[in-house]
Amino acid sequence: MDCSMIVCRCEEVTYDDLVKTANKYKCSSRELKLRTRAGMGYCGGRTCRSMIESIVDKENEKKDEHVPLKYQAPIRPIHFGKLGGMNNDE
């Protein structure tokens, strides 16, 4: 079955790519992320992280070794005043 549904939109990684890689290497979530770049795009894995973890859980027999993937926000918060060019000191 060819499943070309894109799981990671940022890096354009398909479901089929993730399943094939997980089967071939019997890897952890982190290793699957590093091998396919899924979860390493602009959003930092906020949209695809849960799918990556569920594929690993389904394909990997070592469920007791599961370590959830971390994700970080792609940007740092700033004040709206700085965004609009206003000085916050006044």
Task: Look at 11 and 90; give whichever has higher pLDDT.
Answer: 11
Q: Is 47:39 a contact under the CB 8 Å cutoff?
A: no
Half-sphere exposure of 68 (CA within 13 A, CB side): 6
What average pLDDT does range 2-17 have in this prediction?
A: 91
- Taking only the tens place, the pLDDT of each residue in 62-76 is 655 666 776 666 566
Residue 1's pLDDT band (boundaries 50, 70, 90)?
Answer: low
pLDDT digits 0-9 by tens, 16-62: 999 999 999 998 899 999 999 999 988 888 889 999 999 998 887 76
Average pLDDT over residues 73-85: 69
Supply the pLDDT for residue 86. Answer: 66
Q: Looking at residue 3, what is its pLDDT?
A: 75
Instruction: Give the integer Cα–Cα distance in Å for 21 and 34.
Output: 11
Domain map (residue ranges) of the chain: 6-84
